[in-house]
Amino acid sequence: MALIIHKDKCVGCGVCVESCPFNALTIVERLAIVEGSACTMCGACAEEGVCPFEAIEMVKATEANPDVNLADYKNVWVFAEQKKGEIQSVVYELLGKGRELATTRGQEVWAILLGKNVSDKAQDLIHRGADKVVVVEDDSLENFEDGIYSKIITRLCKKYKPEIVLTGATTVGRSLIPRVAVQIGTGLTADCTGLEIDKESGLLRQTRPAFGGNIMATILCPNHRPQMSTVRHKVMPEAQTDTSRVGEIITEKILDEDGFTRSRVLEVVEALEDTVNITEADIIVSGGRGMKGSENFELLHDLAKAVGGAVGASRASIDEGWIPYSHQVGQTGKTVNPKVYIACGISGQIQHLIGMQSADIIIAINKDPDAPMMKIATYALCGDLFEIVPEMIKQLK
C-alpha cells in the first residue's frame, strides 16, 4: 500500500497529525507531509471522517503514481562529485558500476558535473566510461551548497528524465540527493553496497545492510522514476581509464531561480590532518574504546606515520570525543578497503565490521581473545596495546 496526500486538497489543518499513532505526520508550510521513516502505512490518517477535506488516501502501490510514464525515462546518471575542481574517487567507482548497469539496459551513462572552472574534467569522465557529461559552471558553484545543487539537478532530471541516478554515500551525496528525491517525488535507497538489474522486470535491485548489518535488504522502486541510490565508497572497483573513448559534453546554464536558498556557505574551514584520507589509504590504524582517552591517539598517529597510513576510529571513540568524526569507520562512518587494517582496542561490533571487513589483511590488537575483531583478524595479537604498539613503532623506525 501507499499513502497519498493530495496537495490540491490539503490545507494544513493538522487533524491528520493528531490521528497518527506513530507521529509520522507533520505540517510544513500548510501542507501535511510524512516525516522520516516512522510511517507504517497503518491507514489511521486515511480512515473515513479523519480528514475533513479528504486529502489523504491509501492506494495500492501499483496505483501510487499513475502520471509517470516509465517508458519516458532512460539512461544511468552519475553525480560527479568534485572538491576544489578534483573529481572524487567514488565517482569513478560509480561510473564503473553505471557502465555495467547501462550496458544491461542498452542505455547510456551520463555524468553530471557542477562547479567552478570544472569543464576541463569532463573529458576525464568520458575516459572513465561516461557517454555524455552535463556541465554546469558558475562562480556560485565553487563550494557545495545543497540548496543550489539540488535545484539544478532536479531541473536537469525533469528535463532529461534519467532512469537511474547514482551518487556516492559521502557527506555531499547524503546531503544532496535526498533533497532531489523529495523535489522530484521518487524513492531513494541509501548506503547501497550492491546494484544490479533484475533480469525479469528490468528494475534496479538496490542492496544495502539492514538491522545493524545482520541482513542484506534488496529494494526495488517499481512505480517512480528515477530510481535513486547513494553508494558506499570503496565497495565497487573503479572504472579503468580508456583514452580512446569519445563522448558528448552538454553545457547547461545556472538559472536565477536556482540561486534562491535559505542558507549560504560563508567560509569553508578544513580540518588539517598530518596523515592521508582514510578512504584513500592503503594502511589504516584504527583505535576504539580500548584507547582510553584522546591523548593516547597520538600513539596511533605515530604508528600511522611509521607505516605511511591514516588514522581511523570506531564509533565509541568518536562518541567520547577523542577524535573527530571524519576518522570514523563503520556503518555510520566511512567504508574503507585498505590493504592492511590495524585495529587497536576495537572489540568489533557489526556496525564497525561492515565498514572495514573487506580489508586484505586485518591485524587486531586486543586483551580479549574472544572479541569479534580477533575472530576475523588475519593476525590477532592478544595483549596490552600500550605495550605492543610502541614496540611496533620502535621496530618500524
The DSSP bridge partners found for residue 363 are: 342, 379
Nearest to 284 by CA among 334, 349, 212: 334
**Which cell is 305 given?**
606515520
Q: Alpha-carbon dihedral of residues 332, 338, 344, 346, nearest 10 degrees? A: 30
Q: How far is CA 310 from CA 82, 108, 132, 327, 329, in A?
A: 22, 37, 36, 9, 12
Report the interhelical angle of 385-396 vs 297-307 (nearest 10°): 30
Q: Give the pLDDT score at 271.
A: 63
Q: Give the pLDDT score at 62.
A: 46
Please give the single-letter amino acid code of residue 122. A
The DSSP bridge partners found for residue 205 are: 196
* Beta strands per DSSP E along 170-323: 188-192, 194-197, 204-210, 215-219, 227-231, 248-252, 283-287, 310-313
Question: What is the mean pLDDT of each successive set of 10 residues along the chain, which is 397 residues long?
Answer: 79 89 85 73 86 83 60 94 92 96 96 94 95 94 89 94 95 91 91 91 89 79 93 88 94 83 76 66 93 93 92 93 90 86 93 87 95 94 94 91
Residues, the chain? 397
**Which cell is 54 given?**
479528504
What angle is formed at CA 326 by the lines to CA 379 and CA 274, rounded to 5 degrees?
A: 80
Please give the single-letter amino acid code of residue 21. P
Q: How far is CA 193 from CA 81, 283, 339, in A?
A: 18, 22, 19
Distance CA 182, CA 196 (A): 24
Distance CA 124, CA 139 (A): 21
- Domain 70-259 adopts which CATH fold? Rossmann fold (3.40.50)
- Cβ–Cβ < 8 Å for 386, 302: no
Superfamily of the domain at 283-396 = TPP-binding domain (3.40.50.1220)
Distance CA 131, CA 144 (A): 25
Q: Is the bond preceding residue 324 a cis peptide, omega within 30 degrees?
A: no
Distance CA 87, CA 335 (A): 18
CATH class, range 2-61: alpha beta
pTM for this entry:
0.69
Domain boundaries, the chain: 2-61, 70-259, 283-396
Q: How far is CA 368 from CA 251, 374, 381, 385, in A?
A: 58, 8, 10, 11
Tell me if domain 2-61 and domain 283-396 are identical in fold: no
What angle is formed at CA 191 by the lines to CA 187 and CA 195, rounded to 5 degrees?
A: 75
